[in-house]
């Protein structure tokens, strides 16, 4: 099972989008500074995730969420949630 996940920086107005087959491990890595692209914006909280049966499906969704329209989807989700 693959997961596409979106993290939100607690201190900064930033989101991070990626995919993994082990979400608890990846979240721990992001918050411990092991991921170069996220270590300057920690701590991170899981904003949302989606499950996929294949890596290919997850990768396609990740690409969509990283596109302009996908980022708008995330912003709309954020503005309508209690996360902001």
Strand residue runs (E) in the chain? 2-9, 15-20, 44-52
CA–CA distance, 20 with 2 (Å, rounded to integer): 6
**pLDDT tens string 25-80:** 999 999 999 989 999 999 999 999 999 999 999 999 999 999 999 999 998 887 76
Instruction: Decide: pTM greater than 0.85.
Output: yes
User: Is residue 1 classed as helix, strand or coil in its secondary structure?
Assistant: coil
CATH assignment, 2-79: 3.40.1440.10
- According to the model, what pLDDT value does residue 79 have? 77
Give the model's confidence band at 81: pLDDT under 50 very low, under 70 low, under 90 confident, else very high: low
């Amino acid at each position: 099972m693959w997961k596409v996940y979106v993290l939100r920086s607690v201190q900064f107005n930033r989101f991070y989008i990626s995919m993994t087959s082990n979400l608890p491990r990846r979240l721990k890595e992001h918050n411990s500074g092991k991921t170069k692209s996220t270590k300057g914006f920690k701590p991170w909280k899981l904003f949302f995730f989606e499950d996929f049966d294949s890596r290919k499906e997850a990768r396609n969704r990740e690409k969509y969420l990283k596109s302009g329209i996908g980022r708008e989807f995330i912003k709309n989700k954020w503005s309508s949630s209690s996360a902001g």
